[in-house]
Amino acid sequence: MDDAAREAHISEIRSAVKALCARYGEEYWLELDGVRGYPTEFVRELTQAGFLTALIPEAYGGAGLGVLEAAAIMEEISRSGAHAGACHAQMYVMGSILRHGSEEQKRAYLPKIASGELRLQSFGVTEPTTGTDTTNLKTTATRVGDHYLINGQKVWISRVEHSDLMLVLARTTPRDKVARKTEGLSAFIVDLREAVGHGLDVRPIGAMINHHSCELFFTDLAVPAANLLGAEGRGFKVILDGMNAERILIASECVGDGRYFIDKAVAYANERIVFGRPIGQNQGVQFPIARCHTEIEAAALMVDKAARMFDAGRDCGAEANMAKMLASEASWRAGDVAMQTHGGFAFAREYHIERKFRETRLYQIAPISTNLILSFVGEHVLGMPRSF
C-alpha cells in the first residue's frame, strides 16, 4: 500500500472507530467509573470489528495492520471520551506471543484472540517490593515434571478479572546464579480460567481510576511447561520486545486524551458567557488552550515518527519512549487547562473532565514513569553514565 492509500485507509479506520465509540457515549463511561464496571460490550464490539486485533497478522485471523493504524485506533477511542485503558493491553501483549511463541502456541492462541474467543488483556510484571526494578522481582517459577510451580506476589495487575489469559514474568534461576540480572527470568502464559482459585488469588485494589487493577497472590500455581513463552531464562527479552509498541500505543492514547481536553475546552470557552462575553475571548483563557494544542500536535508528530519506524522494522526505542513522555505530559497539561477553563463545573462528574483528568494522569507513572524514560534517554541515547 503506498503512502496516500495508507493515509486514506487510516482516515477510514478513524471514522469507523469514532462511530463505534459514539454509540456508547460518555455517559456509559461515567456510569462504569462509578461502579468499577468493565466495558464488556464495548470491548467485544471493538474486537469483533477487528480493531483490537489490528496487530495480529492475517495468517492468524487478525487484521494484519501496523502500529500506525493501531495508534490511530487507540487515539480515537481516547478522544471520544472513553477510557482506552480498559482494552489497550490486548494489542501489545499479543505481540509477545507473535514474536516469541512457538508455531504451536501461535496457532493455539492468536486466532482465538482475533475472534474474541480468548481475551488476552492482562500482563503481570510489577511486584510490591521491587516496583520499577523489574529484574529484582521475587516471584519464582520452579520446574516440577511437566509443570512449573509459581509462587509470589504481583501488584497493580490490570484487567485480570476480565481476561482469559495473562502473561506473567517470574524468576526461574536465582539472581545470584546468573551472569547478568536480566537472565534467569521467564515468561508464562497463564490460563486465568483455570488458575483463579487454584493457586492464584485475585484481590481488587481500590484506585483513583477505573483501571480494574488487582493484587495477585501465587501459591504453587501449576502452569504447564508448554505455556513457557520463549526460552527458559530469556523472559526479560520477551517482555522488553513488546515495550516499544506499548509505549507508542499509550502515547497515542495520550494524544487522544489531549485532543479530547482541547475539544472540550474550546467548546466551553466559546459558549460560556461571563462579564457579557465568551470566556475564550480573554487571552488569559485562550492562550493556555492554544499552548496545549501546540504541545499535543508536537507530541503527535513524535508518536507518528515512532510508529512509522516500528512498522519499518527500525529500532525505535528512543522515539517510542520520547513519544510516551511528551504525550503523557502534554495530555496532563491539557487536562489541567480544561479543568481551569471549566471553572467550578470541571468538578461536576456529568461534565466528564474530572474523570478524564484522573485517567490521563496515570500515563506519567505507568506503564513506565517519566524518570525511567529520562534515564533511558540520558544513558542510551546521550551516552551519559548509568545510574542504576
Ligand X SMILES: Cc1cc2nc3c(=O)[nH]c(=O)nc-3n(C[C@H](O)[C@H](O)[C@H](O)COP(=O)(O)OP(=O)(O)OC[C@H]3O[C@@H](n4cnc5c(N)ncnc54)[C@H](O)[C@@H]3O)c2cc1C
Helix (H, G, I), strand (E, B) or coil at 147: strand
Task: Give residue for cell 480468548.
Answer: 118
Residue 323 binds to ligand X (criterion: CB under 6 A): no
Give the integer Cα–Cα distance in Å for 382 and 377: 6
Q: Give the interface segment with ligand X, choosing from 48-56, 99-107, 156-164, 251-259 (CB under 6 A).
A: 156-164
Give the integer Cα–Cα distance in Å for 152 and 206: 21
E strand or H helix that includes residue 372:
helix 370-376
Residue 126 binds to ligand X (criterion: CB under 6 A): yes
- CA 254 to the chain's CA centroid: 10
Helix (H, G, I), strand (E, B) or coil at 163: coil
Give the integer Cα–Cα distance in Å for 301 and 255: 10
For Cα atoms 47, 51, 57, give the angle at the middle one, nearest 5 degrees.
95
Residue 207 binds to ligand X (criterion: CB under 6 A): yes
Write each residue from 355 to 384 as x if it is in contact with ligand X (CB under 6 A), else as -, in one continuous string: -------x--xxxxx-xx--x---------
Q: CB of 103: closest distance to ligand X in angstroms? A: 27
Write each residue from 211 to 250 as x if it is in contact with ligand X (CB under 6 A), else as -, in one continuous string: x-x-------------------------------------
How many C-beta atoms surround the C-beta of residue 13 within 10 A?
Answer: 20
Q: Give the interface segment with ligand X, choosing from 121-129, 258-266, 317-325, 336-344 (CB under 6 A).
A: 121-129
Number of residues lying near ligand X (CB under 6 A): 23
- Please identify, using beta-carbon distances, which residue of 175 and 358 lies nearer to ligand X: 358
| Residue from 51, 109, 156, 268 binding ligand X (CB under 6 A) | 156
Sign of the C-alpha dihedral computed for residues 156, 157, 160 and 162 taken in this order: positive
Residue 204 binds to ligand X (criterion: CB under 6 A): no
Q: CB of 381: closest distance to ligand X in angstroms? A: 16
- Please identify, using beta-carbon distances, which residue of 340 and 369 lies nearer to ligand X: 369
DSSP labels for 46-62?
A: HHHTTSTTTTS-GGGTS
Chain contacts with ligand X (rule: CB under 6 A): 123-126, 131-132, 156-158, 207, 211, 213, 362, 365-369, 371-372, 375, 387-388
